[in-house]
Structure 1
């Protein structure tokens, strides 16, 4: 009986009221989006981040999605803001949740143009690295992402 009554109320709310109830009753998350950006030689773009740990300052281009933004568009925006480079987003590599108030999304991306011009507020340095020459101080999670997607690239090239 209670289930039918609840369903009757729910259907009576309709549209935007239903969304408001859902918004108020569920957790809110920020979404961090990372891009594994490669050039024509399959080198990976890494940034030395000003705000990150001095022990692990190197990482992939990363930022937070803004409200209403497609996650792939977040990669394009963040890379352009941090480096001045243009990228095309490829496949979704990873979607992580389970963090307190954060979800993480990672895409592959390829360089399509632009001129390297770092944002000095956030970024100290931007460089292209061969996979077998990744720098010390690279965030462990980003090292794993690079290596895992590189294995996928070599297997695809063999086919």
Structure 2
């Protein structure tokens, strides 16, 4: 039976093999977080309308779209949510194990733009040092700002 499967697999070639693999494997959404710092070492935090009231502060976050690198997601999400331009840096966190998503976080540096919040999603923006983080900050985002690996 294994030989037959291997023969069929080799006969499929290229795009048909990819189609079979796509059908056979899990599909994930990729949540991407930007740990955005300015030239004064402060972090950009956003109060998000969609998050629970007791955990409504966090770093700029969104989902990657098809054909987009994770670095491009950071740039797009920050621009969409705040109007600011950032340059992505190094990958600092990757977590899987969720049923339908994986999470990544990148350092990012403010390089320009003018603060203009997305009124649908973002209620408020604030630049904070690690010493003055607000109450209600997502625990995983607090850990990222403090340079710790979130659970």
Q: Give the TM-score normalised by the residue count of structure 1.
A: 0.91
- Tell me which residue corresponds to 2:85: 86
Query: For residues 7 and 112 of structure 1, what CA distance do their matches in structure 2 show?
Result: 52
In structure 2, the partner of 1:45 is 44
Partner of 1:8: 7
Shift of 1:5: 2.3
Question: Which residue of 1 is the match for residue 124 of structure 2?
Answer: 125
After TM superposition, what 4+ stretches of structure 1 lie above 6 angstroms from structure 2?
A: none
| Superposition deviation, residue 54 in structure 1 | 0.5
* Unaligned runs of at least 5 residues, structure 1: 150-159
Distance in 2 between residues matched to 1:7 and 1:72, nearest whole Å: 37
In the TM superposition, what are the counterparts of 1:2-151 in structure 2 within 5 Å?
2-148=1-147
Distance, in Å, in 2 between the alignment partners of 1:22 and 1:143 is 37
Rounded to whole Å, the distance in 2 between the matches of 1:42 and 1:16 is 47
Higher helix share: 1
Q: Deviations over 1:2-24 (max 9, x none)?
A: 33322221111011100110011
Spell out, residue by residue over 1:90-145, the C-alpha distance to the aligned partner (whole angstroms, 9 max, x if none): 00001100001010010000000000000000000011001110000100010001
Q: Helix, strand or coil for the counterpart of 2:127?
A: strand
Residues in 2 aligned to 1:22 and 1:43: alpha-carbon distance in whole angstroms: 44
1:101 and 1:29 map into 2 onto residues whose CA distance is 5
> Which structure 2 segments of 5+ residues have no match?
none
Q: Which moved further from structure 2: 116-125 or 7-16? A: 7-16
Provide the TM-score with structure 2 as the length reference: 0.96
Q: CA RMSD in A?
A: 0.9
How many aligned residue pairs are there?
Answer: 148
- Corresponding position of 1:155: none
